[in-house]
Amino acid sequence: MALNKKRVAFAVAVVCAVVLSIAATVYLYMQNDRDMILGKALPPVQKMSIEDMPDLPKLKYGIVVDSMNVIEDKIRKNEFLANILEKYNVPYRDIDKLSRKARKVFDVRKLRKGKKYTILTNKETPATAQFFIYDPDPYFYVIYDLRDTLAIKKIDREVEIRERIASGVIKSSMWNTMMDNGLSMDLAANMEDVFGWVIDFHHVQRGDRFKVIFDEKYIDNQRVGVGRIHGGVFRHYDDDTYAMYFEPNKEKFVGYYDGEGESMKRTFLRAPLKYSRISSGYGMRYHPIKRRRKAHLGTDYAAPIGTPIYSVGDGTISKASYSRGNGKYIKIRHNKKYSTQYLHMNGFAKGMRVGKKVKQGEVIGYVGKTGMATGPHVCFRFWKDGRQVNHRRLKFPPPEPMPTSLRPDFQHLRDSMVHRIDAIAFPISPSDTLSHDVSEVTPSGDGKQVLE
C-alpha cells in the first residue's frame, strides 16, 4: 500500500515537471515572436516636425474657405440684395425666393447702407456666388446659402461677460471725462439711465466724481459693449448718491435703489436727450431770429441732427404736427396735470401719431432744426396745470415704496455693494479715470483696493 502511494506521487511530480517545461517553452517562443514583431516587422517610428504637419482648414463664418474666393465689401447707398447678387450671376428668381424665405429669419429689407457683407465663390466658378454673409453687428451675422437649398441662418456670436470697475473725477463734463479716458459712451449713457432721475448730468461740476461696478461684453476677446451696472456712487456738490441694482422675486420692484431703499426712478426723466448740452435755458433771452428779447418758455438741448429724442414719461401723443415756428413737433399728455412738448424735430420715430401711447424713455423722434431754429437742437417744454413751467425746478414724488418683506434682502445687498464701492479708489489726478477688471484688483489690509 505504501509502495503504491510512492508511485502515484512520483507520477504526479513527473506530469507537473512536463507541464511547466511546456509552459516555459511556449512563453519564451511568444516573447521572442513579440520582440521580432515590434523590433523587426514594424518600421521605426519617425518624428514629424511642425512644418510637416498638414494645415488645418481655414474657416470664415464657420464655412471652410480653402477652395473659395472671399470678397468683402460694404452696402452702398440705394443698394439692395438684388443689386449685389445679380453681379455674381444669381438668377433673379432665386433672389426673389430667397427674399421671401428669409422673412422669418432676417428680412433682406433690413440690410443697411455702410454695413459689411462677404461673398464666397468657388475658385472653379469664381463669377458665381455660393454664399452671401451679412455682418451688420458685433453680436450676430446672417448666412444666406445661395446653393440649391437657399437656406438662411442667423448666427449669434458667443458673448463673454466680464465684471469691471471704474472711477473718475469730472474735469469739464461727464461725456468728456469718459472720452478722454477711453471709457465707453455706452457706460456714460447707462450711468445717466441709473442716476439721471436724481442728478442733472447737464449741470455736473468740476471735481464731481463717480465710482461704478459694471459688466462689459466681449466677443473673441474684443470689447463690444457695456452690460448692466451693478452699483455705483456719484458725488455731486460733496453729496454722495449710491445706486445698486436689486432684483427681488417681485418683478414690479426690480430696478435701481439708493442707499435708503428708495427707487431711483421718478415720474419724469430730467432731460429728453443723452449726450447733449443746454444751449438756452428757461426765461427771458434775446431771440436769435426775431432779434428782440422775449420769454423763452422752454429749455433748449443742443445735439447733432439725428440724435434720438426720448419721451420723459409715460403718456399719450396729443399732437404730432408742423408749424412755422415749432417745425416738426410732438406734444404728449402724461396725465391730467402734466404735458410735455418737443420742438424742431428732424422727423418722428416710426409709428408716432396722435393717440399713440408711449413709455418713459421711448424714442419719439430725432433732433433737427426745422421751424425757427438756427442750429440742431430740441426745445423741450413742460406744462403743469395748463401753464408752461421750468421743469428743472420741479420735484416729483418717488414711485411706490419697496414692501417691508423685501427690506432684509435689499439691506444685505446694499451692505455688500456699498462695501465694494467704497473700496474703489478715486484717481489721484482729476483728469484721470481708473478702469480695470475686478479680477485684477485685490483688497489690501486697510480695505482699499490695490492694482497688481
The residue out of 156, 184, 218 marking a domain boundary is: 156
- All residues at 6 or more sequence positions from 108 whose CB lies less than 8 Å from its CB, including other chains: 80, 81, 98, 99, 102
193 and 236 in a single domain? The answer is yes
Residue 446 has pLDDT above 70, yes or no: no
Between CA 95 and CA 294 the distance in angstroms is: 60
d(CA 183, CA 177): 8
What is the identity of the amino acid at 351? G
Greatest C-alpha distance within the chain: 148
**Domain final residue pick, 375, 393, 411:** 393
Taking the C-alpha atoms of residue 171 and residue 325, their distance in angstroms, rounded to an integer, is 37
The answer to whether residue 10 sits within a structural domain is no
**Looking at the structure, do residues 246 and 206 belong to the same domain, yes or no?**
yes
List of residues 6+ apart from 431 with CB closer than 8 A: 169, 171, 180
Residue 291's domain comprises 277-393
- Quote the pTM value: 0.69
The reply to whether 315 and 225 lie within a common domain is no
Does the residue 28 lie in any domain?
Answer: no
Both 325 and 222 in one domain: the answer is no
Question: Does residue 141 sit within a domain?
Answer: yes
Terminal-residue alpha carbon distance, the chain: 95
Alpha-carbon distance of 382 to 270, in angstroms, equals 11
pLDDT in tens, 77-115: 999 999 999 999 999 999 999 999 999 999 999 999 999
Res 43 pLDDT > 60: no
Q: Is residue 375 included in any domain, yes or no?
A: yes
Does residue 164 sit in the same domain as residue 261? yes
* Rounded alpha-carbon distances, angstroms, from residue 31 to 28, 40, 335, 351: 5, 14, 98, 87
Q: Are residues 152 and 257 in the same domain?
A: no
Is 33 among the domain residues? no
Of 152-166, 282-296, 327-341, 415-429, the least confident: 282-296
Q: How many structural domains comprise the chain? A: 3
What CATH number is associated with residue 288?
A: 2.70.70.10
Mark whether 130 and 170 lie in a shared domain.
no
Who wins on pLDDT, 90 or 269?
90
Residue 151 sits in a domain whose CATH number is 3.10.450.350
Residues 118 and 170 both lie in one domain = no
User: Is pLDDT of 162 > 90?
Assistant: yes
The larger pLDDT score, comparing residue 125 to residue 452, is at: 125
Residue 306: name the closest of 243, 376, 213, 246 by CA. Answer: 376
**Distance set, CA 333 to CA 271, 306, 317 (Å):** 16, 24, 6
Domain membership flag for residue 25: no
pLDDT by residue (tens digit) across 346-397?
999 999 999 999 999 899 999 999 998 888 999 999 999 988 888 777 777 6
Confidence category of residue 431, pLDDT binned at 50, 70, 90 = very low
What are the distances in angstroms from CA 301 to CA 140, 276, 309, 344, 383? 34, 6, 10, 11, 17
In this structure, the answer to whether residues 291 and 382 fall within a common structural domain is: yes
Asked if 213 and 196 sit in the same domain, the reply is yes
Determine whether 8 is exposed, middle or buried from the number of CB atoms within 10 Å of its CB (0-12, 13-18, 19+): exposed
328: in domain = yes
Boundary residue ending a domain (372, 393, 414): 393
Is residue 298 within 8 A of residue 343, CB to CB? The reply is yes
CA dihedral sign, ordered 96, 102, 107, 112: negative
Q: Is residue 37 part of a domain?
A: no
Mean confidence (pLDDT) of the chain: 82
According to the model, what pLDDT value does residue 148 have?
Answer: 83
Q: How far is CA 113 from CA 134, 136, 261, in A?
A: 12, 10, 46
